[in-house]
Structure 1
């Protein structure tokens, strides 16, 4: 009886270990986002998509898309209501302009601060960098992608496009997502970060 019980416990443990597959991803960012999307309490995925979820598709990590940028603060900007995919209009302010070189050309993006989020301690230094590029609608999500940033101490910061992720709306239409301002369009193929999601 004792041996049978031990065998049963061993088989049960083995079964659980097989069900608990390791989180996929080549980088820490990829593993973190896959873990978030796999977890029912934090995932934006619909139940039917999460059921067989093994991991998001990413462009291969490319250090070319980790760029040093010049940060210029834009004080005295007026608060505005950013358009979203729903009627919700969250308040943002243009916090600064970032300039960087990529593919031998100079590029510029506006970076924003969510006026609601900064009221919480965790996001007091959070900045929002939405962008559009030439892969949208084909290899990447048609509505553009986002990068989370923090307020830099000086006038330089690093943009890692390998950490670009899709708005939650790419996975589930019940979410309300900021629409990327047209001025944040890059005439480039940013083959880095999360790819378009294949809905089942």
Structure 2
């Protein structure tokens, strides 16, 4: 991870907007790309960037998660992160695809008090990979990188819904949001 978190985040946003506007695999429908001028985000806030230990579960449970297209996907509930968000202790579970438990990648979906108001109603996602691990085996969990899944832009995509265990009562005013 960069020593300049806000600058790295800005580069990530620009690359994502470029992908969504120009890449042939973008979820933005082709007839809407000319009008697409980028996603909206909350301003970067260092208070939403944490370095946390993962409370790794000794026997990860396989969970079936519903999707936006009435399907299901299987994941392993791999562990939990706990942080102080907006003055309250909040815990979210981290998952791995059941088909690839050896991957050094964690998926952290969450819904919060902004969901359905200023952010996508079904929740947002955070992806963590090896670049997010520190030398002391903790994780950089930067909620400024929360993003809406592709199904937020195009109904043709199937996205897993946020499990109830990751519904937070606090607002997470970080990451992608809907324009005001």
Aligned pair count? Answer: 170
2:155 to 173, 180, 186: 173
Residue 67 of structure 1 contacts residue 102 of structure 1 at CA under 8 Å; is this kept in 2? no
- Structure with the larger RCO, 1 or 2 (CA within 8 Å, 6+ apart): 2
Residue 64 of structure 2 contacts residue 72 of structure 2 at CA under 8 Å; is this kept in 1? yes
Q: CA shift at 1:70, angstroms?
A: 2.6
Corresponding residue for residue 26 of structure 2: 43
- C-alpha spacing 1:38/1:96, structure 2 compared with 1 (3 Å): same
TM-score with structure 2 setting the length = 0.85
2:145 to 157, 163, 177: 163
Residue 170 of structure 1 contacts residue 197 of structure 1 at CA under 8 Å; is this kept in 2? no
**SS of aligned partner of 2:139:** strand
Q: CA shift at 1:155, angstroms?
A: 5.1
Structure 2: 5+ residue runs without aligned partners? 1-7
2:112 to 133, 154, 171: 133
Residue 146 of structure 1 contacts residue 165 of structure 1 at CA under 8 Å; is this kept in 2? yes
Corresponding residue for residue 3 of structure 2: none
- Higher relative helix content: 1
Structure 1: 5+ residue runs without aligned partners? 1-24
TM-score with structure 1 setting the length = 0.77
RMSD between aligned residues: 2.3
Per-residue displacement from partner, 1:23-63 (whole Å, max 9, x unpaired)? xx970121121111012323111122212111111111111
Residue 72 of structure 1 contacts residue 155 of structure 1 at CA under 8 Å; is this kept in 2? no
Mapped partners of 1:48, 1:197: distance in 2: 20
Per-residue displacement from partner, 1:96-154 (whole Å, max 9, x unpaired)? 011112233221110000133x38xxx92111000001111111111110000126465
Mean Cα deviation higher: 144-153 or 181-190 = 144-153
**SS of aligned partner of 1:78:** strand
- C-alpha spacing 1:75/1:41, structure 2 compared with 1 (3 Å): farther
Corresponding residue for residue 6 of structure 1: none
2:129 to 140, 150, 170: 150
- C-alpha spacing 1:39/1:161, structure 2 compared with 1 (3 Å): same
Structure ID, larger Rg: 1
